[in-house]
């Protein structure tokens, strides 16, 4: 049998439990033994007895327990408060990386000492400086002795003469000036005069009159103070006070709607990481602009201000012609979404409006009774500065669209179209509107006799070409699209057939000179090339299409509105299917669309007088070439220098080439 051995382990099963008092007793014994060994030189027998007493406290282990391997323990000095996720930007790789090397050292106390080690370099430099000073002083004393050989230059005398005279005064003294207690003062007598005179009746009158005038002056001063108080009361209604109130109102609204403004600015930002292989987009409704006066009216037109990208105008009328009421024009700002900034009442329903592209304060308006108006939104009286009447050949039917001419070389002028079959040009003269007939919309029939018997076509919409300003398109109620010119007012240049019902919107592309889009009541949206009389692409939406507009940032993105939904297409991504679809409101029917020219937002009007602001996801806002990283630097520079207009025009040209290829294969 092997002899039993003892082993200290940290297991709960093997170590006998010791109380706190026992532990304290053991510590006391340890400390006493150490002190006795160091101070008194305890004998070896007493030390052995103490060790045997300590061993009796541990449990005797078996051979099997002694052969077991104890788990190894590593003690690592770590700082529990050290950061574990430090990221550093690497300029070489242009990425953020985590720093794995973290300093674990903790400094509990630090203090700079004032002692220097004699063998160090600092001590040697100080000794050299002291020696140099002593040598310089000795040289100065030698020079003085050579100049004055008979003088005694003792070190004690030199030290006495070097005292600071500001602190020590050995020779000078100061005396106190005695104060004088008695002094004599002499003054001159005051001057005296002898006065004599006569008093008459008129002198007495003048004296009384002077007193009365003083009383009048005091009363006038009091009246002036009262007038100043009235002026202070009038300042409550001054323009500066109104402006301060408007700023305060905007601050309150923006603080109250903080979440919506945050979504408008940062939701779906350009820095979002989009999933690869997914081209679907999303539409996020944020605000709905409405008030009590708008609820029983239809939104007939929406137009953004060209100078202020946060300001837009809404025209309110009625498409139910049996229930015509007064019209309303509201101008809203995104800085205050609860109430319109300006409001103008009209005698008839407002059917359309348009801001001037250069003079942003001028607003052209068309009414249901055929009248056209021009407002200056800066005027306080809120009345039109120009108005058409029966004398100057106003329209006899509702005016469906107005459009300013951007050319300001001559007088300001704008165009209008109406159901009476006329396209008019209205010139702003000094005191009146001067009308000019651009074209009469004649019906296109099988023969000339039928067209002359029926009369004129009802015009609903028109649009001028951005690249050829004299060319414009006209959409009619019969489903025809006519290409016209201001130079030839007697006939159409081209007629495009395809729609079966009324054409509600015609719009030229913003980047391509030949492409335009049309929306009709026959449930279709068609894309045309002006070189061909038939459409190149047709989308059947299974519901009446009320509006269709091109996006201002891309040549292939457009949005269209049916009676209940808004759909967004990108022909460069998918030529057949939509990328996004959203139901904006539940009960009201949609009426109009309008893209913002700066931010990726879309305004949607409805039949209950409300306008909803919708934000587009980044998949729907792709514009310009996508820059890809390549090793060829010249190719990269050429790729970056490509203009967005040229790239978008080329993208539409490629689309037209692909569509024409499809038509050849089908033929």
Q: Taking residues 454-465, what's their average pLDDT?
A: 88
Across the chain, what does the average pLDDT equal?
82
Q: Taking residues 263-292, what's their average pLDDT?
A: 75
Structure confidence by residue, pLDDT tens digits, 229-244: 666 666 667 778 888 8
Kindly report the three-state secondary structure assignment for every residue of 180-219: CCCCCCCCCCCCCCCCCCCCCHHHHHHHHHHHHHHHHHHH
∠429-349-486 over CA atoms, to 5°?
45
Does residue 547 carry a pLDDT above 70?
yes
Residue 33, classified by CB atoms within 10 Å of its CB into exposed (0-12), middle (13-18) or buried (19+), is middle
* 2 confidence band (pLDDT: 50, 70, 90): very low
How distant is the alpha carbon of residue 248 from its chain centre? 19
Q: Taking residues 440-447, what's their average pLDDT?
A: 77
d(CA 474, CA 488): 14
* 349 confidence band (pLDDT: 50, 70, 90): very high
Does residue 4 carry a pLDDT above 70?
no
Residue 16 confidence (pLDDT): 43
* 612 confidence band (pLDDT: 50, 70, 90): very high
Tokens of 401: 């669209």
* 17 confidence band (pLDDT: 50, 70, 90): very low
* 15 confidence band (pLDDT: 50, 70, 90): very low
* 24 confidence band (pLDDT: 50, 70, 90): very low
Residue 627 confidence (pLDDT): 62
Does residue 27 carry a pLDDT above 90?
no
Question: Residue 353 gets which letter from DSSP?
Answer: E
Q: Taking residues 291-313, what's their average pLDDT?
A: 93
Does residue 348 carry a pLDDT above 70?
yes
d(CA 119, CA 69): 52
Return the higher-pLDDT residue of 153 and 564.
Answer: 564
Return the higher-pLDDT residue of 452 and 523.
Answer: 523
Q: Taking residues 354-370, what's their average pLDDT?
A: 94
Q: Taking residues 318-337, what's their average pLDDT?
A: 91
Residue 196 confidence (pLDDT): 80
Residue 392 confidence (pLDDT): 84
Q: Is residue 276 a contact partner of residue 361, using CB atoms and an 8 Å limit? A: no
Residue 661 confidence (pLDDT): 76
Kindly report the three-state secondary structure assignment for every residue of 210-260: HHHHHHHHHHHHHHHHHHHHHHHHHHHHCHHHHHHHHHHHHHHHHHHCHHH
Does residue 276 carry a pLDDT above 50?
no
d(CA 324, CA 326): 7
Q: Taking residues 444-473, what's their average pLDDT?
A: 79
Q: How far is CA 376 from CA 308, 342, 361, 667, in A?
A: 15, 11, 5, 56
d(CA 253, CA 260): 11
Q: Taking residues 392-407, what's their average pLDDT?
A: 91
d(CA 266, CA 258): 12
Mean pLDDT highest for which of 27-31, 245-249, 269-273?
245-249
Fold of the CATH domain 261-268+278-626: Methylamine Dehydrogenase; Chain H (2.130.10)
* 68 confidence band (pLDDT: 50, 70, 90): confident
Residue 14 confidence (pLDDT): 37
Return the higher-pLDDT residue of 49 and 325.
Answer: 325
Structure confidence by residue, pLDDT tens digits, 410-427: 889 999 999 999 999 999
Does residue 177 carry a pLDDT above 90?
no
Residue 13 confidence (pLDDT): 37
Does residue 601 carry a pLDDT above 90?
yes
d(CA 518, CA 538): 10
Residue 569 confidence (pLDDT): 94
Tokens of 241: 């006070």
pTM of the predicted protein model: 0.64
Residue 29 confidence (pLDDT): 52
Q: Is residue 599 a contact partner of residue 308, using CB atoms and an 8 Å limit? A: no
d(CA 571, CA 578): 9
Percent of the chain with pLDDT over 90: 43
Return the higher-pLDDT residue of 185 and 40.
Answer: 185
Return the higher-pLDDT residue of 626 and 145.
Answer: 145
Q: Taking residues 47-64, what's their average pLDDT?
A: 64
Structure confidence by residue, pLDDT tens digits, 466-523: 999 999 999 999 999 999 998 887 788 999 999 999 999 999 999 999 999 999 999 9
Would you list the domain boundaries of the chain?
261-268+278-626, 627-656
Q: Taking residues 454-469, what's their average pLDDT?
A: 89
């Amino acid at each position: 049998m092997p002899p039993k051995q003892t082993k200290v382990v940290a297991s709960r099963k093997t170590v006998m439990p010791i109380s706190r008092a026992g532990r304290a007793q053991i510590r006391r014994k340890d400390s006493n033994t150490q002190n006795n060994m160091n101070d008194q030189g305890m004998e070896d027998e007493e030390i052995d007895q103490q060790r045997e007493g300590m061993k009796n406290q541990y449990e005797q282990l078996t051979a099997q327990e002694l052969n077991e391997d104890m788990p190894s323990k590593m003690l690592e000095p770590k700082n529990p408060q050290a950061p574990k996720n430090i990221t550093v930007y690497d300029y070489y790789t242009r990425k953020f990386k985590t720093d794995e090397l973290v300093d674990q050292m903790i400094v509990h106390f630090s203090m700079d000492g004032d002692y220097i080690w004699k063998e160090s370099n600092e001590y040697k430099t100080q000794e050299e400086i002291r020696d140099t000073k002593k040598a310089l002083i000795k040289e100065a004393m030698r020079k003085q002795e050579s100049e004055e050989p008979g003088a005694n230059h003792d070190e004690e005398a030199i030290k006495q003469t070097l005292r600071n005279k500001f602190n020590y005064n050995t020779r000078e003294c100061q005396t106190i000036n005695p104060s004088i207690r008695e002094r004599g003062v002499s003054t001159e007598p005051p001057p005296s005069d002898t006065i004599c005179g006569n008093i008459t009746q008129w002198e007495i009158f003048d004296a009384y009159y002077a007193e009365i005038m003083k009383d009048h002056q005091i009363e006038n001063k009091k009246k002036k103070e009262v007038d100043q108080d009235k002026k202070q009361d009038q300042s409550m209604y001054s323009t500066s006070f109104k402006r301060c109130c408007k700023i305060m109102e905007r601050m309150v609204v923006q603080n109250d709607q903080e979440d919506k403004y945050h979504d408008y600015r940062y939701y779906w930002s350009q820095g979002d990481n989009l999933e690869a292989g997914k081209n679907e987009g999303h539409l996020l409704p944020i605000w709905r602009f409405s008030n009590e006066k708008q609820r029983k009216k239809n939104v007939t037109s929406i137009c953004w201000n060209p100078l202020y990208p946060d300001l837009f105008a809404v025209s309110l009328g009625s498409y139910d012609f049996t229930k015509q009421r007064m019209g309303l024009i509201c101008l809203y700002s995104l800085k205050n979404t609860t109430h319109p900034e300006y409001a103008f009442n009209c005698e008839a329903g407002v059917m359309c409006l348009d801001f001037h592209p250069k003079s942003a304060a001028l607003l052209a308006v068309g009414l249901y009774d055929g009248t056209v108006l021009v407002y200056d939104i800066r005027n306080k009286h809120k009345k039109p500065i120009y108005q058409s009447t029966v004398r100057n050949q106003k329209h006899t039917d509702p005016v469906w669209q107005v459009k300013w001419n951007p050319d300001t070389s001559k007088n300001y002028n704008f165009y209008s179209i109406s159901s009476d079959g006329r396209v008019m040009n209205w010139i702003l003269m000094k005191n009146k509107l001067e009308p000019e007939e651009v074209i009469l919309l004649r019906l296109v029939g099988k023969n000339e006799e039928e067209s002359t018997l029926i009369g004129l076509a009802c015009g609903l919409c028109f649009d001028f070409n951005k690249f050829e300003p004299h060319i414009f398109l006209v959409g009619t109620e019969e489903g025809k699209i006519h290409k016209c010119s201001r130079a030839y007012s007697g006939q159409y240049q081209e007629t495009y057939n395809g729609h079966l019902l009324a054409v509600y919107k015609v719009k030229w592309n913003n980047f391509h000179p030949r492409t335009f889009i049309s929306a009709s009541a026959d449930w279709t949206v068609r894309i045309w090339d002006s070189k061909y009389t038939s459409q190149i692409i047709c989308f059947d939406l299974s519901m009446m299409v009320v509006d269709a507009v091109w996006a201002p940032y891309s040549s292939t993105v457009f949005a269209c509105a049916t009676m209940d939904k808004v759909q967004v297409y990108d022909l460069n991504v998918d030529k057949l299917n939509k990328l996004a679809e959203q139901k904006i409101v539940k009960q009201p029917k949609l009426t109009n669309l309008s893209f913002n020219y700066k931010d990726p937002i879309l305004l949607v009007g409805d039949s209950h007088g409300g306008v909803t602001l919708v934000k587009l996801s980044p998949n729907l806002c792709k514009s310009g070439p996508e820059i890809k990283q390549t090793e060829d630097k010249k190719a990269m520079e050429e790729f970056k220098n490509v203009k967005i207009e040229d790239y978008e025009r080329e993208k539409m040209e490629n689309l037209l080439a692909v569509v024409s290829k499809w038509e050849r294969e089908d033929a």
